[in-house]
Amino acid sequence: MNGHPTVGILLAAGLSTRMGQPKALLLWDGRPLVRYQVEQLFAGGCQQVIVVTGHAAAAVESALSGSGALIAYNAEYVAGRAGSVRVGAGAAPADAGALVLLNVDQPRPANVVRRLLDAHRQRSTTLTVPAHAGTRGHPLVLDGSLRAELLAVEEASEGLKAVVRRHQAERQEVEFEDPVVLLDLNTPASYSEARTASTGQTIVRSASIDTAEPGSLV
C-alpha cells in the first residue's frame, strides 16, 4: 500500500427491484444494512469509505448520518451498474493504494475485509478475491492503479467484469471456510433466510446463498 489510503467503495444505488424495498435500508445486525457495511469496512482497514447512492438516496444518506462515509450520488443509477462503479472510482483519491469494492446487498464482517487486505498487501497482487469451496465471492480488492480502468467501465462492455477478466492472470484468491463471502441478499426470501441463519457476523448455513461471479457489482 506504500502509505496510500485504502478506500472502500460501497455501491448502494440500485433499484432493489427483486427485493421490493431499498436493500440499503434492510435491518442487519440491529441497524440499516448500509450503515452496518460502512462500519465493517472501516473496522476492516479502510481509511476512507465512499457510498454510491441513487435510488432512495435521501433515506440512505440519512441512515449514514455520522458514520464518517463520503456520499457520492449517481444521478444515472437507472442506467445500470457500471455507472455506480465510475462514480465511486471518481470519488476515490487518485493516490489510493487499494480499492475495496462491494455491493450493499453483500454484507461482509470486518474480519473478511481485514483478511483480504492483509493477503493483498503480502502478495502485492493487482486483484484479490475471496473464495469458498471453489466459488469466488466478494468483496474485490483492487490495486489503486486500476482506478483509471474503473473510471472507464461501460455497461455495454460488461462493466467491472471486463476489468477482472483483463487482470485474471494477476488475481489472487483467498479461500474462506465461511460461506459468508458468497452471500447476496437479492430477494425477500434470501434475506429472511439469511437473517434466520445468521447472527449478522457469520453465516452458519449456505443453503440461502445466491452466488455470483466477481464483477457482478451494482
Q: State pLDDT tens for residues 34-59.
A: 999 999 999 999 999 999 999 999 99
pLDDT tens digits, one per residue of 4-26: 999 999 999 999 999 999 999 99
pTM, whole model, 2 decimals? 0.89
pLDDT tens digits, one per residue of 81-130: 999 999 999 999 999 999 999 999 999 999 999 999 999 999 889 999 99
> Rounded CA gap, 114 and 75, in Å?
31
Judge whether 159 and 166 are in contact, CB under 8 Å.
Answer: no
Judge whether 10 and 53 are in contact, CB under 8 Å.
Answer: no
Q: What are the structural domains, with CATH classification, of the chain?
A: 6-197 (3.90.550.10)
Strands 70-73 and 171-175: unpaired
